[in-house]
Structure 1
Amino acid sequence: MRRYSLPIAIAALLVTFWFSPDAQEIAAGVAIFLFGMLMLEDGFKLLGGGTLERLLERATSSTPRSILFGIVSTTLMQSSSLVSIITISFLSAGLITLIGGVGIVFGANIGTTTGAWLVAGLGLKVDIAAYAMPMIALSIVLVFQKPKAIRGIGYALGGLGFLFLGIHYMKTGFEAFKDQIDLLRFALPGLLGLVVYTLLGTAATVIMQSSHATMVLVLTALSAGQITYENALALAIGANVGTTITAVLGALGANYQGKRLALAHVIFNTSTAVLALIFISPLRDTVDAVSAFLGIASDDYTLKLAVFHTIFNLLGVALMLPLLHRLVAFLIRRIPEPVPDVSQPRYLNAAVDEFPQTLESALRNEVQHLYENAEALILHGLNLHRSQVFDSGDIAATVRSSRRIFDLDLEEGYERRVKSLYSAIVDFTTRVGGKQTPQDILTRIYALRDVSGDIVQAVKSIKHLRKNMLRYTVRPQGTVSELYDGLRTEIARIIVEIHKLGLAAPDDRSALWLDQERAQIEEDARSTMRRVEALIRKGELNANAATSFLNDSAYAYGAMRDLIEAARSYYIERDPAMAEVERLLTLDENELGDSNATARN
């Protein structure tokens, strides 16, 4: 069916244009308006330079702030769709919490009502085409400039110009259209009209992927007297339902968190629409009272429609806000977190590809995922339990008491838990390199790729070390077992310290320990060689065991160096702004207590 939908749509438009030339003007107005929205979105992406993303990260520390962000951002961009896509992207990357994302959706629904006020109060009462032409002309000059900020201003200015121009053509098209066909003949009163026109509003929004465009179309038709006020109310309700399709489509490439947010969007908008339909008469009376209070004429139906659009969206938020935590709990039950597949990327999904900030944050979380897999393999490869090592007050004693062989196929574990993730990370960074990503972010992304490479090399070193380690440590064999236990102890100690580094607050992390540890590794490598030579001279170590140990110690110290280097690049050598983001996210987790909604920092 999807294969034939585009040809059918084009054929329907051509037939309509053949029978009614004035319909061309309306259709062109809608197309110009939608093109203006695309330009406006592109302009904000260029102009923001990550500002919008940083604001989003800060806006989720409380529900009121989340709602306020949704209102303000949607008002500025006149696109709840873009706000929804950004929110899903950040949620999928583990940058914001689910409860914060739902709050933004609530606010976006309120913010989108400002578009109806602008169109009804300005667009239909002023000759905005006179302003559109110079805006578009100026924008073309700006979009061909090299500085990103200037190009962003050009796209935003051109977007506004095309929005105005689209409204103008829709308005004039409907005014000319009514001389040929009176659409009022298709007006439907009562319950049937509510249902039919709500479905039409939903369908129009699904097709145009913009509730804002649907509202402009409804307002211009209402202004031209082509639809009744009652039917226009139903169309506005339907537009709110239809806008959820954007969130649903955006969540198709997202992880389970993005899908939860899309479901929340559907539940919220659908519930609000149902309540508005049930209480349509009291709502209409409320609109009349509010309009009279604001001085809006009783026959100014376009402004009254804007009042209705605002009231029923505010009503929806007011009713759903007390149920917010129950809604989130339902979403978590309905779309549970999948059983983690350690061999598959958790954060590198299509939803994070839209914005530079989510690219970097998703990759950072995925590298952390890789390290957790590698950490387990390294310790298990040394016949050590993570829980015992992390809880131990004496790592050396824990190592000496750990003699039982782990049932572990290290090669298979490496292929499934490390190499597969590393391949996904390399593929992701290669794909990002082909995008127009800011150079500073691209540099940090490549640095994270190098971190993952260091982690992989550490695991490879343990693979080489394991054979002789098992040979000499499962059963105590005197001096040679002590030497191998020393290597196991040092590797375990470094992993414990890196673990502590990850748990520390970003401001408390210091490179001092890393510098000292790197120097200690080099000194230990030299002293190990001297000690082995002394043991051979004393006859306490045979040449065969000594040769094996010297080779294995090279692997062990190589693994330590790689782990230290990975920790330095991941935790210390970072952009200050990213450290601030991590600090804020840590605060958010503590304040909201939603441990399932954010990734481990």
Structure 2
Amino acid sequence: TVTGVIVAFSYLKVVKMIVAALAFVGVMLTFLKGERIKQIGGILCGFGLIFVGLDVMGSAFDNYPEITIFFQNLFKQVDFPLLLVVLGAVFTAIIQSSSAATGIFITMVGVGALGLDCALFLVLGSNIGTCITAVLACIGSVENAKRTALFHLSFNVIGSIVFTMIIWLFKDQAVEILQSFTSSREMQLAWFHVIFNVVTTILLLPFLKQLVTLVTKIIPDKVVRDTENRQLKYVDELLLKTPSVAVMQVKKEVQYMAEQAQENLKKSFAALNDVATEYSAEIEEREQAINFTNKAVTRFLIKLSPLVDVSDERHVGAYFHVLNDLERIGDHAENFSEIALEMQEKNLAFSEVAMQELHEMEDAVLRMFEIAAEAFEDMNSARLNELAALENQVDNMKRDLTTRHYARLAEGCCKIEHSPYFSSMVVGLERVADHLVNVGYSILNPTGSQSEAKNAEN
């Protein structure tokens, strides 16, 4: 949209000079070291070359009037709104750039080769054709990528259909309104492009939730039971082409893995109070997903590591350790579930006092989970001291709960058969707390070590 406005202003010499300077800077940047700098250079260079190409095309129209006459006659023959929309969509899909397509249409309007009334429908079609890039990119990708492409396509198609109907019915009035804005034919089409995108966004904004629901129903999540057919939720091999984006997506995948581990932790404790068999299958399935995510993302990070720049190296290193910590938390949650199953098979149950103590320790660990997840997501160390304090509290609870348990054994309030299970639960929760500290402190130090993080701060 912005490109179209700039193209419309390109008849000004100062704009041409600025664009030429950007293209020159872009070319120079491609010779420097650093992948990100080269990418910026490529963007600037490509942006500048679009305008160079449009300027050359405009000169061709000026030097060869017969070309202008040819296109004038051509569009007289195809002056049918739906056909023009299709032509705009197909043309944009072929060149895979709505910026270039819109720029070409604006240039042709400026030299008189294309009437504004026809150009309006071509621009509407270009907004549909530009979706082909996203559609091609999502082929063979994860569900969320496919949904994003479908959402983009649906959004633009709906907007184009609505505007096509309105412009078709009130074409003369629409042209008059645009002409009242400015006498420049280029700017008239550029403003129409701006109005289309702004109005479409405003109109469809209240219906975003419905659109998301629609694309989710069209492309549902794959329900798989075997590791071989599992897919990651946010990470895809195609992301290796854009390392900086890949790092962000890995973070999302790690956060999703943390949610799965946290849910298993909650369910495993629920199994102690209920029929354990009702939770075991769900916990096992989620544990398999956690293990798969750990292995798959680790393999992806190994491929990604050589490609990232210096600023992302520390994040990648931290993700290796966080994945391992979350996988171990998942293992402990699975162990708790197995304890619940085994106790119910043997008709054993903790005393009310013992269950209350375990739930107090669980609550402390779950608070740690929330703090660690928040710190990891926001990269904010403000609550890390609170996390460390809770970890010390859990350590003390482990010691106190063990002492009280043996006191109850001596008093005959608990059975000796409870001891291995109670001890395993307490020790497991304490180890989960240790892993959560590592997750939280990973934002300061890749290994999650508190001592190393404090040394780094000093």
**TM-score, length-scaled by structure 2:** 0.73
Q: After the TM superposition, which of the residue ranges 150-159 and 335-344 deviates more from structure 2?
A: 335-344
CA distance in 2, matches of 1:562, 1:184: 74
Quick check: 1:446 aligned with 2:320?
A: yes
Q: What is the one-letter code of the residue matched to 1:527?
A: T
Deviations 1:503-549 (A, max 9, x none): 678766722442223422552476379659x84xx9x699xx85x65
**Equivalent position of 2:101 in the other structure:** 214
**Equivalent position of 1:583 in the other structure:** none
Report SS of the residue matched to 2:10.
helix
Deviation at 1:202, TM superposition (A): 1.3
Tell me, yes or no, if the aligned pair for 1:209 and 1:246 is still in contact at 8 Å. yes
**Equivalent position of 1:586 in the other structure:** none
CA distance in 2, matches of 1:441, 1:408: 39
**Equivalent position of 1:363 in the other structure:** 253
User: 1:228–1:145: structure 2 CA closer, same or farther, 3 Å change rule?
Assistant: same
Quick check: 1:199 aligned with 2:86?
A: yes
**Which residue, out of 135, 142, 155, partners 2:29?**
142
Tell me, yes or no, if the aligned pair for 2:91 and 2:129 is still in contact at 8 Å. yes
User: 1:569–1:462: structure 2 CA closer, same or farther, 3 Å change rule?
Assistant: same
**Equivalent position of 1:348 in the other structure:** 234
**Equivalent position of 2:395 in the other structure:** 519
CA distance in 2, matches of 1:191, 1:154: 40
**Equivalent position of 1:496 in the other structure:** 363
Quick check: 1:562 aligned with 2:431?
A: yes
Deviations 1:11-55 (A, max 9, x none): xxxxxxxxxxxxxxxxxxxxxxxxxxxxxxxxxxxxxxxxxxxxx
User: 1:320–1:278: structure 2 CA closer, same or farther, 3 Å change rule?
Assistant: farther
User: 1:199–1:321: structure 2 CA closer, same or farther, 3 Å change rule?
Assistant: same
**Equivalent position of 2:159 in the other structure:** 268
Long gaps (5+) in structure 1: 1-111, 297-302, 386-404, 577-601
CA distance in 2, matches of 1:321, 1:352: 32
Tell me, yes or no, if the aligned pair for 2:339 and 2:421 is still in contact at 8 Å. yes
**Equivalent position of 2:339 in the other structure:** 465
**Equivalent position of 1:375 in the other structure:** 265
**Equivalent position of 1:234 in the other structure:** 121
Q: What is the one-letter code of the residue matched to 2:89?
A: T
Number of aligned positions between the proteins: 417
Tell me, yes or no, if the aligned pair for 1:197 and 1:234 is still in contact at 8 Å. yes
Q: CA RMSD in A?
A: 4.3
Tell me, yes or no, if the aligned pair for 1:363 and 1:425 is still in contact at 8 Å. no
Deviation at 1:282, TM superposition (A): 0.7
**Equivalent position of 1:407 in the other structure:** 277
Structure with more relative contact order (C-alpha pairs < 8 Å, separation 6 or more):
1
The 5 A counterparts of 1:305-316 are: 305-311=186-192, 313-314=194-195
User: 1:333–1:307: structure 2 CA closer, same or farther, 3 Å change rule?
Assistant: same
CA distance in 1, matches of 2:355, 2:261: 18
Tell me, yes or no, if the aligned pair for 1:370 and 1:422 is still in contact at 8 Å. no
CA distance in 1, matches of 2:433, 2:193: 57
Q: After the TM superposition, which of the residue ranges 213-222 and 347-356 deviates more from structure 2?
A: 347-356
Deviation at 1:427, TM superposition (A): 0.5
**Equivalent position of 2:449 in the other structure:** none
Tell me, yes or no, if the aligned pair for 1:284 and 1:308 is still in contact at 8 Å. no
User: 1:261–1:288: structure 2 CA closer, same or farther, 3 Å change rule?
Assistant: closer
Q: What is the one-letter code of the residue matched to 2:344?
A: L
Tell me, yes or no, if the aligned pair for 1:194 and 1:231 is still in contact at 8 Å. yes
Tell me, yes or no, if the aligned pair for 1:129 and 1:168 is still in contact at 8 Å. no
Report SS of the residue matched to 1:187.
helix
Long gaps (5+) in structure 2: 376-381, 446-458
User: 1:570–1:243: structure 2 CA closer, same or farther, 3 Å change rule?
Assistant: same
Tell me, yes or no, if the aligned pair for 2:92 and 2:129 is still in contact at 8 Å. yes
Deviation at 1:290, TM superposition (A): 1.7
Report SS of the residue matched to 1:116.
helix
Report SS of the residue matched to 1:122.
coil
Tell me, yes or no, if the aligned pair for 2:102 and 2:126 is still in contact at 8 Å. yes
Deviations 1:463-505 (A, max 9, x none): 5534552356x356xxxx54xx766544433333344456678
Tell me, yes or no, if the aligned pair for 1:464 and 1:555 is still in contact at 8 Å. no
Report SS of the residue matched to 2:9.
helix
**Which residue, out of 41, 44, 68, partners 1:154?**
41
Tell me, yes or no, if the aligned pair for 2:268 and 2:333 is still in contact at 8 Å. yes
The 5 A counterparts of 1:29-40 are: none
CA distance in 2, matches of 1:169, 1:425: 53
Report SS of the residue matched to 1:272.
helix
Deviation at 1:129, TM superposition (A): 9.1
Q: What is the one-letter code of the residue matched to 2:4?
A: A
Q: After the TM superposition, which of the residue ranges 316-325 and 275-284 deviates more from structure 2?
A: 316-325
The 5 A counterparts of 1:20-419 are: 112=1, 114-122=2-10, 128=16, 132=20, 138-147=25-34, 150-174=37-61, 182-184=69-71, 186-189=73-76, 192-248=79-135, 253-255=142-144, 258=148, 259-260=150-151, 262-291=153-182, 296=183, 303-311=184-192, 313-314=194-195, 317-318=198-199, 321=202, 324-325=205-206, 327-332=207-212, 334-335=214-215, 347-348=233-234, 350=236, 353=239, 355-356=245-246, 358-382=248-272, 384=273, 405-408=275-278, 410=280, 412-419=281-288
CA distance in 2, matches of 1:177, 1:433: 57
Deviation at 1:550, TM superposition (A): 5.3
**TM-score, length-scaled by structure 1:** 0.58
Deviations 1:68-117 (A, max 9, x none): xxxxxxxxxxxxxxxxxxxxxxxxxxxxxxxxxxxxxxxxxxxx1x3223
Q: Percent identity?
A: 15
Tell me, yes or no, if the aligned pair for 1:124 and 1:220 is still in contact at 8 Å. no
Q: What is the one-letter code of the residue matched to 1:306?
A: M
Q: What is the one-letter code of the residue matched to 1:211?
A: S
**Equivalent position of 1:43 in the other structure:** none
Q: What is the one-letter code of the residue matched to 1:277?
A: W
User: 1:306–1:173: structure 2 CA closer, same or farther, 3 Å change rule?
Assistant: same
